[in-house]
Structure 1
Amino acid sequence: MKFLRKHLLLTRVLWTLALLTIFLIGQSIIIPGIDPAVAKAALKQQTYLQMMGVTIGSQLQVPTLFSLGLGPYMIGLIVWQAIIALDLDWVNRLTVNQTGYIQKVISLSLAFLQGIQMLGYLSPALVPVVFMNMTIPTEWVQFGVLMILIAGTMITIFMGNLNAEKGLGGISILILPGVLLGMPRMLQAGWQTLNYKLTVPHLITAGIVSLVVIVILVMLLQIELRIPLQRPLMEGSGSASYLPFKLLLAGAMPFMFSSTLFLVPRGLLASNAALRSNWFAQFIQSITNQTTVAGIINYGVIILLLTYGFGFITVQPLRLSKQMKENNEYILDVFPGHETTSYLMRCFWLMATLGGLCLAVIALIPLLLGLKWPGIANYTIYIGSLAILITLIQGMWEQIRALYSKEHYRVFD
């Protein structure tokens, strides 16, 4: 124990490996009362669910203990961050404990809603459960499946928070196994209708594309706009600093949700025959079809809009301007108050637009090539998974470097 306390980096690695092992075991425990074969066939038809599963660490091929993964937590966190970005007074007055309770309630509510949605897809897969020579009614089986899904989600969130405290990579590390295991599937059948066989030439092509995309994304993640900042209350070199606005303000978040958001309207129409019989439904189907020019343009617009949305939540320029005023900080040649807010918003729109266009170009190139060579379009989904993987690894690597520097820091040689 003394050895582990001395070697903090090793201790955190062991904690992360232990929690990932438990998470993977939980994702292999099939929920009782479900026919796995029927459930797999039913869930496979929901393309947007499969894509969402890869991006948020869920296991939506077969219902298991940890099927919902971090989905409710991540969506709830986005909702809460959006509320915080509005800079409301009642939100600013909340304590840390109150904020934690609110986030847990939001996650629990979303887990309940997602569980209900899963039950709707799994209704044909429900089978009678016999306990002590008694057949449990279907309604009770449904309730039991729902409770298991919700409980699994809350356990996953607990493990993620535990990893944030004691391990590496924070709560998002639990997404890593799903992304790694799902990448081959995304490349092979990303859009379900465009199968891309993993032959040797295709794998070599995927390797080259992966290398090029990794280099491009790593470079884009390093680009930032540095706004000169003055801190009068600090002395020395600390009084003159800068405020960084990254080019990719939202990181990989637009990639994470673009495919799902793109396909959700199509999935809703497919589940309701009455909605498919009018001109508006045909229009929706045309702009959510990745094999049409209209669909490709719409996909690019979605990435750009998600960049604006997630970028605003991440940077929170309105809240940032208020904090600068409270801390007596100011930008060179810009008056505090309203002018600072306007200046930060202009910087935000500039960087968000440029970053969103960069992501859109990366995503749309495979779709455009797919118009001539079917199957190439799957690279859009694959690159999205790769972008998520890069941001996860980058965050974990920065934490490892910080811990390594801390362990080897010496005041005197």
Structure 2
Amino acid sequence: MAVYGFGKDIPLPNADIYQVTEQLKEASFLQITSLATGGNFTAPTIFSLGLAPWMAGMIFWQLLTLTKMGGIDQMPKEKSDRWRNLLILLIAVIEGYGTTYMLRDYFSEFTQFQVFQTCLLIVAGAFFLIWLASVNTVYGLGGPSLVILFGMVSSYRVPVAQITRMILVEDLWGRIVLAILVGVIVLGLIALALIFERSEYRLPVNRIMNTADMQKSAYIPLKLNAGGSLAFMFSLTVLLLPQIIFQYLADSYPQNNVFWWLENNSTTTSFFGVTLYNVILFALAVLFAQVMLDVTDLAENLRKNGDYFTNIRPGKETKKYLKQKQNATAFIGATFTVIVAGLPLYLGVIWPEYAAVVLMPGLTIILVGIITSIILQIRAINTLSSYEKLL
């Protein structure tokens, strides 16, 4: 975390950092994206992209795996990792070049060498951060999520400062009422996020090796919000990639009104962009819920072990039953995520000065999800080390 915190403040060369920082203050969409990816779009630094290329690459790779195109799901792990990393590299180059192109007006000389140098540093910084997150996955707690948590906590000061200013402009009683209202809303969001994070839908299962007493507590759990916090983080990343492409196309073809409209309306600062974001958010929440549990493998394992659901035949009928239940819980979780983390962004379009404040529900979901996973990791480690030695 010390290395990451230090790297976030190392500026890129060739550009006027003060002018760029002023420009980036107006790019609210980029700053919102950086909150959920561990990046830094408040200033041009080597960690500006954060984990965005890795997150987008994982999404696209997961989609390719689900389609089983070209036998991709049967690839050896080494070969699969190599192709996945190449996809992440391609995305990093696109996003790195897009970021460099966005800053072109603030270069001392916008030469091809400077573009190449800056893009190379941004891509290298992103891959170094990906490596750092992978090291934390092996030796630390929280995996890549800890990088995002670090960036989010440090960025929370913006919405907190805006809310504080809203309270201070009121009279004494107005301040008291607003402070209580904000406290109730924040605590309510935390409680709601925690409930959905820990809730699960249990499917009673008959296990032939269980005794009658044990049979009563045998079930298959389906998390109610399996992909909520992940969907919020990854959806912003997915929306960033087309935004960079639209920006490049609009600058390359200035007479094309379609590219210009897409560039200005595909972010969370417009109604169309927020609607597009909510569609992506819902789809990713459903996707992550299905990725978390492979019903095909589960149905096959139940059949092999002789376990079954009451009045459901093993095999295809069991798979169909599990798929129906999985889709139902995924729909509930995705709907909750969109209502809490997606719909408030429409208020940010109406009142742009409060764009950071309306992000707090979504950020709360991420924080609760990450902190809960770290707590569960710590509990698992404590459980493993709590057994006494036999000798």
Judge which range, 203-212 or 154-163, deviates more: 203-212
Aligned twin of 2:316: 338
Judge which range, 320-329 or 335-344, deviates more: 320-329
In the TM superposition, what is the alpha-carbon distance from 1:240 to its structure 2 partner? 7.9
Q: Distance in 2 between matches of 1:88 and 1:355?
A: 28
Q: Distance in 2 between matches of 1:309 and 1:95?
A: 23
Q: Distance in 2 between matches of 1:100 and 1:295?
A: 33
Task: Specify which of 136, 146, 153 is matched with residue 119 of structure 2.
Answer: 146
In the TM superposition, what is the alpha-carbon distance from 1:392 to its structure 2 partner? 0.9
Q: Distance in 2 between matches of 1:41 and 1:344?
A: 52
Q: Distance in 1 between matches of 2:138 and 2:269?
A: 43
What one-letter code is carried by the residue in structure 2 that aligns with 1:348? Q
SS in 2 for 1:252: helix
- 1:254 matched to 2:227: no
Aligned twin of 2:204: 228
Aligned twin of 1:386: 364
SS in 2 for 1:331: coil
In the TM superposition, what is the alpha-carbon distance from 1:252 to its structure 2 partner? 1.1
What one-letter code is carried by the residue in structure 2 that aligns with 1:337? G
What one-letter code is carried by the residue in structure 1 that aligns with 2:147? L
Q: Distance in 2 between matches of 1:296 and 1:75?
A: 19
In the TM superposition, what is the alpha-carbon distance from 1:357 to its structure 2 partner? 2.4
TM-score, length-normalised on structure 1?
Answer: 0.76
Aligned twin of 1:359: 337
Task: Specify which of 68, 72, 89 is matched with residue 53 of structure 2.
Answer: 72
What one-letter code is carried by the residue in structure 2 that aligns with 1:227? L
Contact 1:67–1:149 under 8 Å retained in 2: yes
Q: Distance in 2 between matches of 1:368 and 1:147?
A: 36
Task: Specify which of 52, 65, 80 is matched with residue 99 of structure 1.
Answer: 80
- 1:28 matched to 2:9: yes
Unaligned runs of 5+ in 2: 169-174
Task: Specify which of 15, 37, 40 is matched with residue 21 of structure 2.
Answer: 40
Q: Distance in 2 between matches of 1:114 and 1:368?
A: 26
Contact 1:54–1:182 under 8 Å retained in 2: yes
Aligned twin of 2:39: 58
Aligned twin of 1:4: none
Q: Distance in 1 between matches of 2:205 and 2:69?
A: 25
Aligned twin of 1:114: 95
Q: Can you list the C-alpha shifts for 1:153-197, whole angstroms capped at 9, x where unaligned?
A: 1111111111111111112211111111222325667xxxxx984
Aligned twin of 1:213: 189
* Matched-pair identity in %: 26
Write out aligned runs for 1:178-193 (5 A).
178-186=151-159
What one-letter code is carried by the residue in structure 1 that aligns with 2:358? T
CA separation of 1:399 and 1:76: change in aligned 2, threshold 3 A: same
In the TM superposition, what is the alpha-carbon distance from 1:36 to its structure 2 partner? 0.7
Contact 1:366–1:379 under 8 Å retained in 2: no
* Residue correspondences, number: 376
Aligned twin of 1:49: 30
Q: Can you list the C-alpha shifts for 1:87-132, whole angstroms capped at 9, x where unaligned?
A: 568234323322322332222222111111111111112225xxxx
Contact 2:52–2:237 under 8 Å retained in 1: no
Unaligned runs of 5+ in 1: 1-19, 129-136, 190-194
Contact 2:203–2:221 under 8 Å retained in 1: yes
Q: Distance in 2 between matches of 1:116 and 1:96?
A: 30
Contact 2:269–2:352 under 8 Å retained in 1: no
Structure number with the bigger relative contact order (C-alpha 8 A, sep ≥ 6) is 1
What one-letter code is carried by the residue in structure 2 that aligns with 1:246? K
Q: Distance in 2 between matches of 1:161 and 1:337?
A: 37
Q: Distance in 1 between matches of 2:347 and 2:8?
A: 36
Judge which range, 242-251 or 35-44, deviates more: 35-44
SS in 1 for 2:227: coil
SS in 1 for 2:228: coil
Q: Distance in 2 between matches of 1:177 and 1:335?
A: 48
TM-score, length-normalised on structure 2?
Answer: 0.80
Task: Specify which of 151, 156, 170 is matched with residue 143 of structure 2.
Answer: 170
Q: Distance in 1 between matches of 2:132 and 2:301?
A: 33
In the TM superposition, what is the alpha-carbon distance from 1:375 to its structure 2 partner? 6.0
CA separation of 1:238 and 1:120: change in aligned 2, threshold 3 A: farther
Contact 2:24–2:43 under 8 Å retained in 1: yes
Judge which range, 82-91 or 145-154, deviates more: 82-91
CA separation of 1:87 and 1:223: change in aligned 2, threshold 3 A: farther
SS in 2 for 1:225: strand
Aligned twin of 2:172: none
Root-mean-square deviation (CA, aligned residues, Å) is 3.9
Aligned twin of 2:282: 304
In the TM superposition, what is the alpha-carbon distance from 1:307 to its structure 2 partner? 2.2
